[in-house]
Amino acid sequence: MADPETISIHQTVTLQEITVDYTPELCTHSSETNEITVLFDERGGSRWRTKNRYQYGTFGANIKCPDGNTNGLNFNLYLSSLEGDKSQDAIHFEFLGNNKGIVQTNYMTAGTANGSEQINDLGFDCSDGFHDYEIKWEKEFIEWSIDGKCIRRVDREDGVEFPEKAMFLYASVWDASAIAEGEWSGIYEGGDAPYACVYKDVRVPLLTSVDVADREFHPEHLIHQTLLLKEIAVDYTPEVCTHTLDTNEITVLYDERGGSRWRTKTRYQYGTFGANIKCPDGNTNGLNFNLYLSSLEGDKAQDEIDFEFLGNNKGVVQTNHYTDGTGNKEQIHDLGFDCSDGFHDYEIKWSKDYIEWSVDGKIIRRDDNEDSAEFPGKAMFLYASIWDASGINEGGWTGIYEGSDAPYTCMYKDVRVPLLTALPEEDSEDLVC
């Protein structure tokens, strides 16, 4: 786990959500491929931006500029405190349609560029393929980099205004023919329309969103920041487990083939884990469906933290935790609803000092670490499964499986895991005992 005291404002995360300011039909965002595409045709262009402003940090994207005769067009990636505001601060990469072998960089303070425009030779045609463009912005300097090489740096000087307002990340394609009577980007002809500018793997600062910066910068807060889970491993029966990135849904079936179990690809050392879950409909006697953390499923010395749904009573959920394979801390909680009636949010918040289980934002249990020898401390995967638990206590736990309403479907939506506490897996094999 990263030491929160050494976390840099330049740590980044892949952008998950955008806002489209105009002509949304010309802007598409695929969460599966992490691509944003902006078109320009007879309807004009479009502009997207982040939903939040950021106060310093690193911003970047792999960009493929439009093919063909792009005279007159401007395509870009830039920061602005508010596009259209005459007193905006801004930092730009601007591609000029009449010369795709260059890029213009500049910055603005309180709406004034002060002659900061600079033309930079790329050494390639920006439409030939994807290249990486990055802006690194601090209180004391700005750096523009392409494919990992810094092409320009501006340091703050005493008494000289410098961008410092919190800014959105923007990108657009527009007709700039009227700027300097066409001398800037040329005159639009449109012979090769429609034009497509593609932004891939857009990255923004992890910590400097104004929503985050306004909170106390404290390690306890940092380890509980989350992001949506994008990749899973399926331990068995992959044909009954599906993961749909477009809807952020994982579906596990139980039928004559049995059930399945999915997990994260990495372990985490503390943090917040959760999902919106809709449990299976019908007569689920005998089945167990769940969401839980485990250092390694099947290991007799595992640490574990559980939400477990019992098929013979869908109005309750069982919580539990294990240390070195020993549990005996089961508690049954009345949900106040049938867990199969719709989606409800289930969350585990785990630190070295406590564990909290919450349902729909309400804490239903908290255990404090009073004896570290009996408290989960091993790094853990997030798991979920459906299985026939009829053999536990001769059916006394979940009932006896009947299967009259098979197939059974458990759905996990918007699964979230910690941003900062993942640990690298040295060997992805031998993860199933």
Instruction: Report which secondary-structure segment, H or E, holds 9.
Output: none
Counting beta carbons within 10 angstroms of the beta carbon of residue 257, is it exposed (0 to 12), middle (13 to 18) or buried (19 or more)?
exposed
Token pair recorded at residue 424: 């690298």
Backbone φ and ψ of 334, nearest 5°: -75, 125
Query: 296, 351, 294, 359: which is closest to 320 by C-alpha?
Result: 294
- DSSP assignment of 280-302 equals PPS--TTEEEEEEEESSTT-TT-
User: What DSSP letter does each residue of 259-270 carry, written as one string?
Assistant: --EEE-SSEESS
Which of these, 215, 245, 230, 378, lies nearest to 302 by C-alpha position? 378
Closest CA to 204 of 171, 158, 160: 171
Q: Nearest-CA neighbor of 1 among 326, 297, 422, 285? A: 422
Tell me how far apart the alpha carbons of residues 206 and 57 are, in angstroms, rounded to a whole number. Answer: 8
- The answer to whether 83 is a known catalytic residue is no
Which residue in 273, 214, 220, 262 sits closest to 239, CA to CA?
Answer: 262
**Would you state the structure tokens that stand for residue 332, as one six-digit string?**
């049954």
Listed residue (171, 132, 139) closest to 155, CA to CA: 139
Gap between the terminal Cα atoms of the chain: 25
Query: Within a 10 A sphere around the Cβ of 226, how many other Cβ atoms?
Result: 16
Report the C-alpha gap between 181 and 90 in whole angstroms.
Answer: 24
Per-residue b/e over 349-369, b at no fewer than 16 CB within 10 Å?
Answer: bbbeeebbbbbeeeebbebee
Name the amino acid, one letter, at 415.
Answer: V
Q: Tokens 């593609």 — which residue? A: 198
CA gap 192, 118 in Å, rounded: 28
DSSP annotation of 68? S
Buried (b) or exposed (e) across 5-26, using 16+ Cβ within 10 A?
eeeebbbbeebbebebbebeeb
Catalytic residue among 94, 134, 297, 304: 304
- Out of 17, 308, 374, 394, the active site residue is 308
Q: Is 308 a catalytic residue?
A: yes
Active site amino acids: 304, 308
